Amino acid sequence: MARASIRIKKGDVVYVLSGKEKGKTGKVLAINHDKQRAEVEKLMVFKRHYNLALLDPESKKPTRIGTKVLENGKRVRIAKRSGAQIDQA
């Protein structure tokens, strides 16, 4: 079975979209790619990566994630809401 692409990484600050912890934010401590689960600091373990959304570094609101290739050929994640770069180049 092909591994699903999870764009949320360890150390990201995320917003919970559904479940009993809906509306809370926390830092991702670990990602389990096989089970598609994320462990979030001070919150329960979340199933299915689509229950979490990355926080935009500029507006501090939930955003979708896109990718962009820089001039040096490095691929970085960007926030769809503001266009801000998430990863360090």
pLDDT for position 31: 87
- Confidence class of residue 47 from pLDDT cuts 50, 70 and 90? low
Dihedral of CA atoms 82, 74, 39, 11 in degrees, nearest 10, equals -70
pLDDT for position 48: 57
pLDDT, tens only, 62-73: 999 999 999 999
What is the pTM for the complete model shown? 0.79
pLDDT, tens only, 8-17: 889 999 998 8
Give CA separation, 39 vs 24, 71, 77, 88, in Å.
14, 34, 21, 23
pLDDT for position 61: 94
pLDDT above 90: percentage of residues in the chain: 44
Would you say 63 and 82 are in contact if contact means Cβ atoms under 8 Å apart? yes
